[in-house]
């Protein structure tokens, strides 16, 4: 056995409560975004009133199955990499408190559970196809994202999975409309930038150390010696900036089309606010995507939170007057509950 293997096998972890281990295994705080995707899309179909409570429960349960499939399969496939890098020392799988086989079984039970719940709820062929695409997309991403010769492809497949989840939420309520489709694509582009470009730059050194092959590495992203910054090749800069530009356009598109049927003075005000916020965030993100300038910054995990906050803020600005109070409260509870419970569990 190698010296490294001996170190890995004898590594000591600080004690954690069962609840804390559960929180880490299910990525509880991140369920806020997973649940938001289909619920927000559902709201575009019936903006002035909630669907039946039973339908909302089905969407929540299916979203949970999707969530556990996405993150559970990622933990299983990245197990060796996570052990080497020590990025998930608070997760039961890495700590050895759960076997890889058990984690895989739990994941597949959730995958099957999502399909069975949808099937028993009174489904349609289109809904089942969307759900299969959603689950299949994230499974393919988890299994092959860091092991194939063209990682942008698996990033795109993951995005398609989230687009399908979004459209599932809309289709479960009624017929998806133009607003539903635009929102679904917006979610897809957002995920494509976050997991494909942004997090690849954040985790660059660790991914290189662990032998992972991500989109930034494929483009030629490399660490700079004795610096927190990294070399961002021009092609990666163009790619990342294009993703952000497309995200801004998609956020503005419903306002430019006035899918909300807002009166003109109000529409102009909302659009102006949206443009200002988007330009500020565009400039903020660009600092992480251009190399060799004095204002280049190394992205941190906190910047991911700011990106998520931007996305929620933009949607809140655009949709607040369009959705009923019941929808606003429901979406607020859906986002806040996982975050609050995650903070309370120690």
Tokens of 68: 């556990």
Cα separation, 246 vs 239, whole angstroms: 11
Higher-confidence position of 91 and 263 = 263
pLDDT exceeds 60 at position 9:
no
Cβ atoms of residues 190 and 153 within 8 Å: no
CATH number of 18-344: 1.10.357.140
Q: Which one has a higher pLDDT value, 100 or 40?
A: 40
User: Do residues 331 and 40 make contact, with C-beta atoms less than 8 angstroms apart?
Assistant: yes
Buried b (16+ CB within 10 A) or exposed e, 235-260: ebbebbbebbebbbebbbbbbeeebb
Distance (Å, whole) CA 119 – CA 331 = 25
How many percent of the chain have pLDDT more than 90?
Answer: 70
User: Quick check: 208 and 189 in contact, CB under 8 A?
Assistant: no
Query: Tens digits of per-residue pLDDT, 296-314?
Result: 999 887 888 888 888 888 9
CA atoms of 133 and 8, how far apart (whole Å): 37
Report DSSP state, residue 224.
P
Band (8; pLDDT cuts 50, 70, 90): very low
DSSP 198: I
Q: Say if residues 200 and 215 touch (Cβ distance below 8 Å).
A: yes
pLDDT tens sequence across 70-110: 999 988 888 777 776 666 667 777 777 788 898 899 999 99
Q: Is the pLDDT of residue 194 over 70?
A: yes
pLDDT digits (tens, 9 = 90+) for 56-66: 999 999 999 99
191: how many CB neighbours lie within 10 A of its CB? 21
CB 30 within 8 A of CB 67: yes
- Written as six digits, the tokens of 282 are 């565009």
- Hey, where are the domains in the chain? 18-344
Angle at which helices 301-319 and 31-45 cross, to 10°: 20
User: What pLDDT band is residue 277 in, cutting at 50, 70 and 90?
Assistant: very high
* pLDDT attached to residue 61: 98
Handedness of CA 302, 249, 166, 200 (dihedral sign): negative
Q: Cα–Cα distances in Å, from 216 out to 178, 266, 278?
A: 33, 41, 24
- Give the pLDDT band (50/70/90) at residue 5: very low
The predicted structure's pLDDT at residue 264:
94
Residue 230's beta-bridge partner residues? 223
Q: DSSP secondary structure string, 276-325?
A: HHHHHHHHHHHTTT--SSTT-----HHHHHHHHHHHHHHHHHHHTTTS-H
Tell me the mean pLDDT in the region 200-226: 92
Closest of 20, 45, 319 to residue 181, by C-alpha: 45
Q: Is the pLDDT of residue 4 over 50?
A: no
* Predicted pLDDT at 2: 45
Average pLDDT score, the chain: 90
CB 91 within 8 Å of CB 51:
no
The reported pTM is: 0.91
Range with lowest mean pLDDT among 20-24, 150-154, 203-207: 20-24
- Backbone φ and ψ for 294, nearest 5 degrees, come out as -65, -25
- C-alpha span between 260 and 170 (Å, rounded): 16
pLDDT, average across residues 111-121: 98
Note whether 323 and 50 are within 8 A (CB): no
Segment (H or E) for 23: helix 18-26
Query: Residue 142 — φ and ψ, nearest 5°?
Result: -60, -40
């Amino acid at each position: 056995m190698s010296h490294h293997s001996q170190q890995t096998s004898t590594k000591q972890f600080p004690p954690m409560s069962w609840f804390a281990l559960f929180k880490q295994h299910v990525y509880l705080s991140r369920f806020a975004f997973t649940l938001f995707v289909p619920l927000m899309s559902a709201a575009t179909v019936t903006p002035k009133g909630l669907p039946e409570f039973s339908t909302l429960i089905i969407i929540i349960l299916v979203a949970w199955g999707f969530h556990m499939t996405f993150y559970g399969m990622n933990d299983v496939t990245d197990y060796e990499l996570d052990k080497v890098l020590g990025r998930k020392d608070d997760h039961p799988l890495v700590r050895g408190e759960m076997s890889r086989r058990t984690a895989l079984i739990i994941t597949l039970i959730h995958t099957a559970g999502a399909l069975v719940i949808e099937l028993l709820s009174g489904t349609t062929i289109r809904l089942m196809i969307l759900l299969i695409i959603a689950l299949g997309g994230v499974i393919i991403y988890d299994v092959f994202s860091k092991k194939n010769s063209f990682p942008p492809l698996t990033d795109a497949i993951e995005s398609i999975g989230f687009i399908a989840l979004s459209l599932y939420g809309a289709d479960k309520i009624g017929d998806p409309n133009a607003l539903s489709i635009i929102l679904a694509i917006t979610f897809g582009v957002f995920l494509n930038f976050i997991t494909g470009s942004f997090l690849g730059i954040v985790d660059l050194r660790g991914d290189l150390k662990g032998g992972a092959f991500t989109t930034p590495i494929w483009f030629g992203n490399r660490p700079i010696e004795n610096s927190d910054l990294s070399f961002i090749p021009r092609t990666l800069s163009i790619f990342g900036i294009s993703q952000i530009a497309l995200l801004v356009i998609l956020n503005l598109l419903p306002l430019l089309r006035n899918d909300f049927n807002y009166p003109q003075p109000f529409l102009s005000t909302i659009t102006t606010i949206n443009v200002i916020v988007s330009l500020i965030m565009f400039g903020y993100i660009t600092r992480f995507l251009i190399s060799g300038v004095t204002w280049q910054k190394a992205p941190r995990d906190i910047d991911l939170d700011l990106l998520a906050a931007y996305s929620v803020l933009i949607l809140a600005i655009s949709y607040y007057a369009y959705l009923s109070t019941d929808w606003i409260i429901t979406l607020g509870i859906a986002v806040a509950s996982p975050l609050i419970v995650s903070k309370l569990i120690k």
